[in-house]
Chain A
């Protein structure tokens, strides 16, 4: 990410895209409900959510394929709700790529430019630039069916960028690629975006993808935005149980808030007390949860000192070895399970922690996030 690129924090910055109280219903099902969102010029913005959360509907409203029932969609300050797709200065890369099967790679990329009736030489030059951008110069005369999946994906990208759109919309652009290629392409997309400076809006259900590529992301659930923020904000400071559980793995400790002089204290059903560092105003007696990410749990084979904070004990019931990290599932004495992940920084012939071992889990007060929603 570019250092110091935080237009969303600038109160004077004008958004390039603004959804203002937008709703969309299909019969009795609500796709998007009263949603407002600002996206700034030059941002790589991700819409993340489970399938059916309304993220694709939102993108298609921006492209002009769906009309909102309520609210306004503004592009550079102008309401574009009545504008047909072919008059909007945005372009979309489709999940299926939607390459024209009867046209060559060159003519696919030139399609949009021809609609603008540009002179032939200018079209050829711009298509050449695009082919160079996605490194497909040698394949200009091929038909889409003669290309590999990755090459098709790049043609689709080149075609959607050829008209230099104000905003590029990407609908699950990498879903059809295999994992390795997908990860490579994510970095290529980021590099491309920062080089061109075009605003990118990507729809994805893959949280790793969203967190990798985006400056900011909106996590959506049931037609509403659950949280907007940078990937770090979303991961480290989720604003609800739902966001904490949807983005990454999390251990939730449920309980009620207790009055305390230092920090926030949560008392669970067993009477155990946990402490978080955040100094938010809390109401004693209110139900709440502490969210602790698996990698922020410390795992030990020996009991901690008697006065140690935030400690629970249990037995290891499952170990997932993922290469770079190992995930330990620990059944606590009260029956609940927690997950702790440990980096495999040292190469070990034998794991020191095995199945059925008694272990102690603990976390620092600032590792826990207080959730009341």
Chain B
């Protein structure tokens, strides 16, 4: 009796530990296998629009035919056409630059929040989270309104006398940067804020006591100690920005495509599922690099505690 209940409890605990893995298998690993399989197929005009398909009724022979039909030729296609490489690079460029700007804007905001009187902090926190209460899509549409030819921004700049002719903000990289930085700022501010809050004030006093002026203390003490926050924020922004589709599609120009847009075109416009899937697999492989970097920083930080 007793041993059975103990075994039950053990298996219950095992189940709880396994849940996240089951989730990952069901919603990441299996879909990824399907995408990988499609990327190794060839496009055909059929339903589904690729070949080979696995015919389980044919048994071993069917499996053998299926495996023989797979090839890496689609990946070769990605290397041949510039458009894929260019949109990868564009995505990397936009993600990297936006992340840098986000760090530069997020640091002072998070620092100011953590230093605000403790009564004001919950209000400031709500102010950061508040935009999430409106649909992401609507907020990006609102930027179209602000950035268009006779939009708010041009009106304001003209009223201030800074410009005479309206500037074409929309359909440019600038608009994409504005939209991305606006949308992702909370994802940068929140982890930074959490880190700044944990920062022991007496460390800053100790630095001052030992002869270190304030600006120097920021670089010698504050910055190294909020590094995990910067890494977390950078990762939270960089990775989704790389795959960003909505913002460049609504605010950007059609001449420069981010990888998400290229993927969308291949999938929906060209109905080339193998190429779209291959793009997705390569993108995932590229993202493993920053994630591995973060894990490295993170584990060193945990060691440093």
Contacts and interface: CB of A to CB of B under 8 A. Distances in A.
Interface in B221-247: 221, 224-225
B305 interface: yes
A163 B205 contact: no
Contacts of A100: 203, 206-207, 221
Given A94-B206, A101-B304, A86 B212 contact: yes
B282 interface: no
Nearest to B212: A115
Interface string B84-98: 000000000000000
Contact of B210 (A64, A84, A115, A143): A115
A163 B203 CA distance: 17
Nearest to B211: A115
A8 interface: no
14 contacts: A63-B205, A85-B209, A91-B210, A92-B206, A92-B209, A96-B202, A98-B200, A98-B206, A100-B221, A101-B203, A115-B210, A115-B216, A145-B305, A163-B210
Contact of B202 (A85, A98, A112, A160): A98
B208 interface: yes
A116 interface: yes
A355 interface: no
B91 to A, nearest CB: 33
B205 A65 contact: yes
Interface in A261-318: none
Contacts of B216: 115
A273 B64 CA distance: 116
Interface in B20-36: none
Interface string A143-169: 101000000000000011001000000
Contact of B304 (A96, A111, A143, A163): A143
B208 A111 contact: no
Interface in A32-87: 63-65, 84-87
B305 A86 contact: no
A345 to B, nearest CB: 46
A101 B210 contact: no
B202 A163 contact: no
Given A85-B208, A111-B210, A115-B216, 11 more contacts: A84-B208, A84-B213, A87-B211, A92-B205, A94-B205, A94-B206, A100-B206, A101-B305, A102-B225, A115-B212, A116-B211
A86 B205 CA distance: 9
Contacts of A143: 304
A211 B223 CA distance: 42
Nearest to B223: A102
